[in-house]
Amino acid sequence: MNSFLQGDYDIIVTQDLMARMINVPDLKVVVHYDICEENNHHNILSSCGRVGRLGNIGYCFIFYDRKTDLLAVDALRKLRDRMSFTDEMNSVVAKWKILGVDDRTIIF
C-alpha cells in the first residue's frame, strides 16, 4: 500500500482496507465489485467519499445486480440522496430518460 500512496503504482486492489481514514490526494476512481453482506452502507459510502474531494471530480462505480443485491441498492439510494447534481449531469439524465433508461439505475 505504501508504494501506491507514494505514487509508484496507479492502481490498487483492496477490500475495505482503504474505505476509511486514508487520504489519497488526487484519487479519481473507486470501483466496487461483488458487494457482500460483510460490507455495510457506511463502508460503501466512505470509500466512494475517497474521490472528488476538495472540489475535484471523482467517480465511484458500483457493479451490482439490483434484483438481488439489496445492500448495494440501499447504499446507492443513500449516496444519490447526499449528492448534488450539476446542470450537466441533469442534462445527461434527461437525455437518458428520453431513451428509456430508468433513472433509478443512474448514479453519478
The per-residue pLDDT for 72 is: 66
Q: Which residues contact 64 (CB under 8 A, 6 or more apart)?
A: 32, 35, 72, 73, 76
The per-residue pLDDT for 34 is: 66
From residue 103, give the alpha-carbon distance in Å to each of 16, 24, 70, 95, 99. 28, 31, 17, 11, 11
Encode the chain (108 residues) as per-residue pLDDT tens digits.
788 888 898 888 877 666 667 778 788 888 877 666 555 666 777 777 778 777 778 887 777 776 666 766 676 677 667 766 677 767 776 776 777 766 555 554
Give the CATH class of 2-105: alpha beta
Task: Judge if pTM exceeds 0.75.
Answer: no
Separation CA 82–CA 32 (nearest Å): 18
